[in-house]
Amino acid sequence: MQISFEGKRALVTGAGKGIGRATALALARCGAEVTAVTRTQADLDSLTQECSSITPVCVDLADWKATETALQNVGPIHLLVNNAARVNLQPFLEVTPDQFDQSFNVNVKAVLHVSQIVARGMKARGSGGSVVNVSSQASQCALRNHAVYCATKGALDMLTKVMALELGPHQIRVNSVNPTVVMSERGRLTWSDPEKAKVMMDRIPLGRFAEVEDVVNSILFLLSDKSNMTNGVTLPVDGGFLTC
């Protein structure tokens, strides 16, 4: 199956590292004009060195006003990937209001905001579009020390569904991918303890963690016209974790 995004303009958040970076590069390889949004300039510098056609935007998505300003001249966008997120692992009884707010600001509120900005343009142009939110298996399964992260991703899944409901009539499809542990740099770091990794891996019928490419492929599928009738789904990319 060949996927081409020739003539399309895409925006990817959290494109400095990991899944977001790989998605931005894959979209560019498939012919899209890509805007990469993240908050660390050095990551954008190395990304544009790797792929000079990518347009960088440096902003902290937790800052509503700064995001509004940074994206005001971004132009028409056909494909949006809301990927940026933060993870703060804390036992439930030690969760602080500050960590709660920071996580919800990036993982949920910024998704709503960036999507509003992009979808208003899609609606005004009347030519539809596709949005993919990067969620997690943690949205649907309780994980120890993940109270806030699980809550943000659960909220993100419902946001995905309501966006699909309200934007569908404008031919804007909204779906999410819900990966298990992904072997991005962060994933490798977080799951480097073999004992901790084994407990999780034992619950995945395919017996392995996801590679970044596994997630990118599912994102590209949901962005593309190969999934034209798919709207409002939360697609596990989890080797079967959520079936158990």
- Of the two residues 58 and 168, which places its CB atom closer to ligand NAP in the complex? 58
Told to check if 60 binds ligand NAP by CB under 6 A, we report yes
* 169 vs 207, beta carbon nearer ligand NAP: 207
Q: Assess whether 149 carries a catalytic annotation.
A: yes
Both tokens of residue 211? Answer: 């590679």
Q: Are 175 and 129 in contact (CB under 8 A)?
A: no
With beta carbons less than 8 A apart as the criterion, state whether 135 and 176 touch.
Answer: yes
Tell me the window of 16-24, 26-34, 44-52, 221-229 that interacts with ligand NAP (CB under 6 A). 16-24
Tokens of 224: 């593309």
Residue pair 173/130 in contact (Cβ under 8 Å)? The answer is yes
Catalytic entry in 17, 65, 153, 198: 153
Say if CB 61 and CB 84 are below 8 A apart. Answer: yes
Encoded one letter per residue, x for contact with ligand NAP by CB under 6 A and - for no contact, window 23-52 reads: ---------------xxx--x---------
Structure tokens at 140: 């649907």
- The catalytically annotated residue of 65, 149, 161, 226 is 149
Question: Catalytic annotation on 198?
Answer: no
**H or E segment to which residue 223 belongs:** helix 212-223
Binding mask 102-131 for ligand NAP (x = CB under 6 A): ----x-------------------------
Q: Among residues 46 and 96, whose Cβ is nearest to ligand NAP?
A: 46
Q: Is 96 in the site for ligand NAP (CB under 6 A)?
A: no
Q: How far is CA 24 from CA 3, 11, 92, 99, in A?
A: 15, 8, 34, 28
Q: Is 171 exposed, middle or buried (0-12, 13-18, 19+ CB in 10 A)?
A: middle
> 23, 136, 218, 227: which one contacts ligand NAP (CB under 6 A)?
136
The residues annotated with a catalytic role in the active site are 149, 153
Contact residues toward ligand NAP (CB under 6 A) are 14, 16-20, 38-40, 43, 60-62, 83-86, 106, 134, 136, 179, 181-182, 184-187
